Structure 1
Amino acid sequence: MTTAQPLRIAIAGLGTVGAGVIRLLEANASLIAARAGRPITVVAVSARDRGKDRGIDLAPYAWEDDMAALAGRGEVDVVVELVGGSDGKALELARAALEAGKPLVTANKAMIAHHGIELAEIAASHDVPLKFEAAVAGGIPVVKGLREGAAANAIERVYGILNGTCNYILSTMEDTGADFAATLGEAQAKGYAEADPTFDIEGVDAAHKLAILAAIAFGSRIDFAAVRCTGISRVRAADIAQAATLGYVVRLVGIADLDPVEGAEPRLLQRVRPCLVPLTHPLAAVDGPTNAVVAEGDYSGRLLFQGAGAGDKPTASAVVADLIDVARGDTAPPFSVPVDQLRTLAPADLGQRTGKTYLRFSVADRPGVLAEITAAMRDANVSIESLIQQGNDDDSDEVLIAMVTHDGQEKCVTEALELLAGSESLTAPPLVMPIISD
């Protein structure tokens, strides 16, 4: 049994994850001490509501009403931030902890996506660790996997299913044939979606995670503002069914990779949007509230990280894994290379990208509409591989036209849609979903 001095931690935020961290530290105390080389003990906590029943005994811990005060407590070695939100109290605490020379462990993806470089600079100036394994994909050790396990590789692309709520909705629509609104309601009833699900279903949560992964994978400064983001709220049951007929499933996928530029730094693509995924691809088998990340290294080949992307136990597991690293003395740069060596990469030109695309048009049921759409495709140099026209199930005058293009540049698809913009034949904006290759 180790006799080393314990690592004393303060926890801000006692929701499901914060309470889960305390339970895990208590349940596996001996195992954690053996692996960390010393015990890890909670000495102080803070949360919004002191009187709330969280199912854990908080009596042994000092309480701070002002969570930023945790950073100034002399007996605290490490601060754990589990409050959430990109700014406000969470950011105030993060800055205070690092400026006090104390390691920071956080599960706050929004804060890291917006302020991660600033926090990494503060951490570097005080020579203390900044850890955020739990901020990306919950209990899946993808941050450590990219930063350490794949450290010898030039990462060529990183992509994956980064939001469990969206994946639950899409895979349930696939299984049941239900439409989006009904499936979202079911996800909310089961606790897989928030009462206000906007951040999830519009892809913002996945975009936060993708920006962090891209920085780690490519040694670049985080550029969350450059992430192109489209959510799943416009995906219909008919799109899911049509994808299945063609041999695909629909998944919300975040993708980051590099476009080489001769004589200059490459350009960085970061995009989150619903995609058609071939049934033969590893991501196609990922269903329910699960996350999966694929990294493609020049020597390792394709690496797949898959597991629970949220929840108290998986996220607490990732938080405590970071605490074990801190207890061991790990001070590795949070984004793979020292923060002052991170590259600034300009956004890639999406129009130059090539591939197949799924397009779905909602149109008025009258003669000439199909000819109008195909003429726009022809004029924009978009080649159509397959086309299906079908009526709507609700006996309305709306018709759905779905098509898959041949390989071509995205700017051509964009031009075709611009030619159709304002057309009285379209009853709703077209849905555009890229098709991922095997």
Structure 2
Amino acid sequence: MMRTRPLKVALLGCGVVGSEVARIMTTHADDLAARIGAPVELAGVAVRRPSKVREGIDPALITTDATALVKRGDIDVVIEVIGGIEPARTLITTAFEHGASVVSANKALLAEDGAALHAAAEQHGRDLYYEAAVAGAIPLVRPLRESLAGDKVNRVLGIVNGTTNFILDKMDTSGAGYSEALDEATALGYAEADPTADVEGFDAAAKAAILAGIAFHTRVRIGDVHREGITEVTAADIASARRMGCTVKLLAICERAADGQSVTARVHPAMIPLSHPLASVREAYNAVFVEAEAAGQLMFYGPGAGGAPTASAVLGDLVAVCRNKLNEAPGPGESAYTRLPVSPMGDVVTRYHISLDVADKPGVLAQVATVFAEQGVSIDTVRQKGRQDGGGEASLVVVTHRAPDAALSGTVEALRKLDTVRGVASIMRVEGE
């Protein structure tokens, strides 16, 4: 039976995502009501610039006082799409205190302070849902939190930032340099005017923290995630990867240790074989592999950003939260019972692709090999090529076998001290084999 009193929704933020949420709530109101079991009503929209024309939204709903909106007491659900740490954190906790559940797309806040937000939601018997915080429209948070709740997840590996994937894809397919590819991404709207959060890996690291926490039932904050961006990736790196039958992607990798006693979370560019499904993820798309003990390997693929895809995830959470409200029973909250420590990057076992500029003379390869042996790192392949312009230099590319990252980093530092090594041109990990 349809309940007649509408569930009231407060929207915090009306930018690209928020305006799309409002549009869908209006145009699909009947369908949403049928799926929920009660109509939903947009009761207020908090913005910073009230004078801006917002098509399809009743001007009477617009307010600049977000705090008063979430304190009203008759609000059932607050949708937070303003981003950042404050005032979002205070507004969300205030919403809980005044009886509202929350749907958020705020990955930065959740990665920084998710435990406290979950505790506040539990204290007041409210829901905190955030499917839109990771990978846009791709259903990922709910499958990890609910569908795989009875399984043991061992690894999450994927591309979770569309901007960097677009840039690396353009570098690979067109031969463009990093700056040129970034300019194209900016012109097409894939990159912000200040792309730092994307290209330096902060966005992907926040998502990795959220995914690791859910997957491994432990608390992982963004500060626990090893982070490297793509600003140092060169056309030469892309070409070297191609010669190996690989491509370069910015990967988020969350793993449970082999002994099950710790977890790791990291974000960095890596070479992956062209045979790997992630290698074919093009332009601004996202894709994530989840490896579970019973379910095996699952892949989630789709648009990872943008107004409509993100709004789709927000509305999915809205339907779930409203159903919980009608049933007077909140959905699943935080699961952090394992309390597993997060190991440092040095403990991660991985492979390196190292490109060196060396003196072009006998004995250099032997010196380099000795350094690897002293650090306990085994060499897989070596490729040496003299410079066409002469100058007594050569390019030496070494690909290692798997070893602790600390040993590999130590090897690179030792190589820098060799008189015959003129420079370390690039270092990149090799994954997905």
TM-score in terms of structure 2 length: 0.92
Q: Tell me, what secondary structure is at the counterpart of 2:261?
A: strand
Counterpart for residue 431 of structure 1: 426
Cα–Cα, structure 1 residues 188 and 364, in superposed 2: closer, same or farther, change >3 Å? farther
After TM superposition, the structure 1 = structure 2 runs for residues 136-147 of structure 1, keeping only pairs within 5 Å, are 136-147=134-145
Letter in 1 for 2:372: M
Given candidates 299, 309, 312, the residue that maps to 2:307 is: 312
Q: Please give the alpha-carbon distance, in whole angstroms, between the structure 2 residues aligned to 1:405 and 1:303.
A: 28
Counterpart for residue 72 of structure 1: 71
Given candidates 208, 232, 256, the residue that maps to 2:254 is: 256
After TM superposition, the structure 1 = structure 2 runs for residues 102-181 of structure 1, keeping only pairs within 5 Å, are 102-181=100-179
Letter in 2 for 1:67: A
Counterpart for residue 279 of structure 2: 284
Letter in 1 for 2:166: Y
Cα–Cα, structure 1 residues 399 and 188, in superposed 2: closer, same or farther, change >3 Å? farther
* Offset of residue 231 of structure 1: 0.9
Cα–Cα, structure 1 residues 411 and 59, in superposed 2: closer, same or farther, change >3 Å? closer
Q: Please give the alpha-carbon distance, in whole angstroms, between the structure 2 residues aligned to 1:256 and 1:67.
A: 36
* Offset of residue 82 of structure 1: 0.7
Letter in 2 for 1:323: L
Letter in 1 for 2:136: G
After TM superposition, the structure 1 = structure 2 runs for residues 28-427 of structure 1, keeping only pairs within 5 Å, are 28-61=28-61, 63-85=62-84, 87-261=85-259, 266-329=261-324, 331-335=330-334, 337=335, 341-361=336-356, 363=357, 367=361, 372-389=367-384, 400-421=395-416
* Offset of residue 115 of structure 1: 0.9
Q: Please give the alpha-carbon distance, in whole angstroms, between the structure 1 residues aligned to 2:424 and 2:8.
A: 55
Cα–Cα, structure 1 residues 407 and 4, in superposed 2: closer, same or farther, change >3 Å? same
Cα–Cα, structure 1 residues 398 and 118, in superposed 2: closer, same or farther, change >3 Å? farther
Letter in 2 for 1:237: A
* Offset of residue 375 of structure 1: 3.7
* 1:11 is aligned to 2:11: yes
Letter in 1 for 2:154: E
1:232-255, CA deviations, whole angstroms, 9 ceiling, x for partnerless residues?
Answer: 111111111221221111111111
Q: Please give the alpha-carbon distance, in whole angstroms, between the structure 2 residues aligned to 1:202 and 1:146.
A: 26
1:176-221, CA deviations, whole angstroms, 9 ceiling, x for partnerless residues?
Answer: 0111111111111111111111111111100000100111111111
1:321-364, CA deviations, whole angstroms, 9 ceiling, x for partnerless residues?
Answer: 111001111622333x3xxx533322225444434321223x36
Question: Which range is displaced more, 66-75 or 417-426?
Answer: 417-426
Cα–Cα, structure 1 residues 395 and 115, in superposed 2: closer, same or farther, change >3 Å? farther
Corresponding residue pairs, total: 428
Letter in 2 for 1:206: A
Q: Tell me, what secondary structure is at the counterpart of 2:322?
A: helix
Letter in 2 for 1:46: A
Q: Tell me, what secondary structure is at the counterpart of 1:243?
A: helix
Q: Please give the alpha-carbon distance, in whole angstroms, between the structure 2 residues aligned to 1:252 and 1:171.
A: 11
Letter in 2 for 1:41: E
Q: Please give the alpha-carbon distance, in whole angstroms, between the structure 1 residues aligned to 2:391 and 2:178.
A: 18
Cα–Cα, structure 1 residues 398 and 308, in superposed 2: closer, same or farther, change >3 Å? farther
**Identity, % of aligned positions:** 38
Cα–Cα, structure 1 residues 399 and 95, in superposed 2: closer, same or farther, change >3 Å? farther
Q: Please give the alpha-carbon distance, in whole angstroms, between the structure 2 residues aligned to 1:233 and 1:104.
A: 36
Cα–Cα, structure 1 residues 121 and 312, in superposed 2: closer, same or farther, change >3 Å? same
**Contact 1:43/1:60 (<8 A) preserved:** no
* Offset of residue 260 of structure 1: 4.7
Q: Tell me, what secondary structure is at the counterpart of 1:151?
A: coil
Cα–Cα, structure 1 residues 400 and 108, in superposed 2: closer, same or farther, change >3 Å? farther
**Contact 1:384/1:404 (<8 A) preserved:** yes
Q: Please give the alpha-carbon distance, in whole angstroms, between the structure 1 residues aligned to 2:429 and 2:172.
A: 18
Q: Tell me, what secondary structure is at the counterpart of 1:73?
A: coil
Q: Please give the alpha-carbon distance, in whole angstroms, between the structure 1 residues aligned to 2:389 and 2:28.
A: 55
Q: Tell me, what secondary structure is at the counterpart of 1:104?
A: strand
Question: Which range is displaced more, 386-395 or 207-216?
Answer: 386-395
Q: Please give the alpha-carbon distance, in whole angstroms, between the structure 2 residues aligned to 1:293 and 1:360.
A: 29
Q: Please give the alpha-carbon distance, in whole angstroms, between the structure 2 residues aligned to 1:178 and 1:64.
A: 46
Letter in 1 for 2:83: G
Runs (5+) with no aligned partner, structure 1: none
**Contact 1:117/1:222 (<8 A) preserved:** no
Cα–Cα, structure 1 residues 230 and 396, in superposed 2: closer, same or farther, change >3 Å? farther
**Contact 2:3/2:38 (<8 A) preserved:** yes
TM-score in terms of structure 1 length: 0.91
1:296-339, CA deviations, whole angstroms, 9 ceiling, x for partnerless residues?
Answer: 1111111111111100000001111111001111622333x3xx
**Contact 2:355/2:424 (<8 A) preserved:** no
Q: Please give the alpha-carbon distance, in whole angstroms, between the structure 2 residues aligned to 1:423 and 1:189.
A: 44
